[in-house]
Each structure stands twice: as structure tokens, then as C-alpha cells.
Amino acid sequence: MKLKKLLVSALIICLAFCLVACGGEKEEETPVLIMATNAEFPPYEYYENGAIVGIDAEIAAAIAEKLGMELQIEDMLFDSIIPAVQTGKADVGFAGLTITPERAEFVDFSQPYTTAVQVIIVKEGSPIVSCDTLFEGGYTIGVQQATTGDLYTTWDLEDYDLATIDRYNKGADAVQALITGKVDCVVIDNEVAKAFVAANADAGLTILDTEYATEEYAIAMQKGDTELQAAVTKALGELIADGTVQGIIDKYITD
């Protein structure tokens, strides 16, 4: 009987200990910063050894670190990024996003973190030799859907009847269409153009020595989320001021 009582007492003590342990304070989980991107835009975001890397990915990681957050990158179609931020499925849109009045209707932007240029890729010997000749000969222009290459050429096409635009989900697909003769040129960001031309060195591609448009890239955030906007903008500003952002850009753009 005495042994039985001792066993019961020991069991009660063990249960009490477990309850105390379980009722202790839980470790706080690290908040997550969800970044929406399209990882088909080297050197800003692309896959390397199964991970998304690039200028935007590294800047986003530096911002997340400053905010004490864990960065989570969601890869999606480019034209899904603004809706993802707008509806709160992602915290930030970070994908070589140009500030435009049309996009600003749906999201708010941080200050710019870099300036970019839209250029024209053609095959060597192409009759397209400048922006002025782009719309003059019944050419087919390849673009990545919903990018500023798409927006700018669509706006300019309103003044012409001689050109057509073929839209692709990926910039690489537009370039492949150029290689196979489905389009006559591709309008895209200069650094991305250089990456695609280098990746297809035997295809006889060249970038015209002319700027189609100059633009500024920034981070898209949900309208009304003033707390996140203030935090991200402050962190980005500090990273620009201390040279971190330029250091990241220089790491990927060396010429």
C-alpha cells in the first residue's frame, strides 16, 4: 500500500512538472517578410543552384535583417506581383519594378534604389538600327508581359499602325522568339538584355546603342500599410546611405 501511494505521488509530481513546463513562455517566432518576385530577370532575380539570388534578393535580405525579420521569396508570374501586394498575399513586390502612374494606382512605392534603361535587342544585321526605326517597317516587337518594355511599346504603338507586339511570360521566352525569328526585336532592361545576349552568345544577338527609355526601380507595398512602408523605407534609406545597396549592385553589374 505504501509503495502504491509513493508511485501515485511520483506520478502527480511528474504531471505537475509537465504542466509547469508546458505552461512556460514560448519562444517568439521570427516575423516573416514575404517578397513577391519573378525570378526570370537576371541580374536582379534569378535561380542559382535552386535558390533565388540577385540584386533585389540581396537588398531584400538586407532590409529583412535590419527589421529583424526572415525573408521569404515567392516566385510568380510578373503580372501577378502587383495583385499579390495589393491583396496582402505578399508584403513587398521586389522585381525590377519601375515606378509608373498606372502601378501607383494599386500600390505604394518606396524611394528608388537604382536607375535602369530599356534597350532593344536585335539580330546582327537587323534593319532596326534605332528607336526611330522600331515602328516603321511592320516589325514584331517581343516583350515580357506587364513589364515597362510592354507598357512603353504599347503606348508608342498608339501612334503607329505598322508594328505589332508579342507578349511572353518570361523575358527569356521573348529572346528565344527573337532567335527563332518569331519576333524582330526585344525591348527589355539593359542589364537583363546583357545577361540574355551573353547566355546566347552563338545566336548573333546585339543590343542597339540607343536608350529606349530611362526609369527608376523601387519596392512596391500595399496601400494603407503605413507601418510596413515606414519600416521598409527607413531600412532601405539607411542601406543606400551606408553604401550597402551600391555594393550589392556593383557585385552583379561590373561594367
H or E, element range at 196: helix 190-199
Angle, nearest 10°, between helix axes 190-199 and 171-179? 50
Do 44 and 104 reside in the same domain of the chain?
yes
140 and 209 fall within a common domain: yes
Domain count, the chain: 2
My answer on whether 194 and 241 are in the same domain is no
Per-residue model confidence (pLDDT) at position 145: 95
Instruction: Please state, in angstroms and as integers, the Cα–Cα distance from residue 178 to each residue in 9, 186, 200, following that order.
Output: 81, 7, 11
- Is residue 37 situated within a structural domain? yes
16 assigned to some structural domain: no
Whether residue 129 is contained in a domain is answered as: yes
For residue 25, the 8-state DSSP code is: P
Which strands form 92-93's sheet, in the order they lie side by side? 70-75, 32-37, 92-93, 220-222, 107-109
Q: What pLDDT was estimated at residue 28? A: 76
Residues 6 or more apart in contact with residue 135 via CB below 8 angstroms = 156, 157, 159, 160, 162, 163
Domain harbouring 95, CATH code: 3.40.190.10
| Global confidence as pTM | 0.84
The answer to whether 248 touches 55, Cβ cutoff 8 Å, is yes
232 and 174 belong to one structural domain: no
Residue 164 lies in domain: 116-214
Same domain, 79 and 130: no
What pLDDT shows up at residue 26? 54
Check whether residue 45 and residue 107 sit in a common domain: yes
Supply the pLDDT for residue 183: 98
pLDDT (0 to 100) of residue 122: 98
**Measured between alpha carbons, how far is residue 255 from residues 8, 54, 107, 108 in Å?**
77, 16, 33, 32
Q: What are phi and psi of 166, to 5 degrees?
A: -105, 125
Cis peptide leading into residue 43 (ω within 30°): yes
Domain presence at residue 2:
no
Please give the chain's pLDDT, 255 residues, in tens.
443 444 444 444 444 444 444 544 556 789 999 999 999 999 999 999 999 999 999 999 999 999 999 999 999 999 999 999 999 999 999 999 999 999 999 999 999 999 999 999 999 999 999 988 888 888 999 999 999 999 999 998 877 767 899 999 999 999 999 999 999 999 999 999 999 999 999 999 999 999 999 999 999 999 999 999 999 999 999 999 999 999 999 999 987
The verdict on 171 and 45 lying in the same domain is no
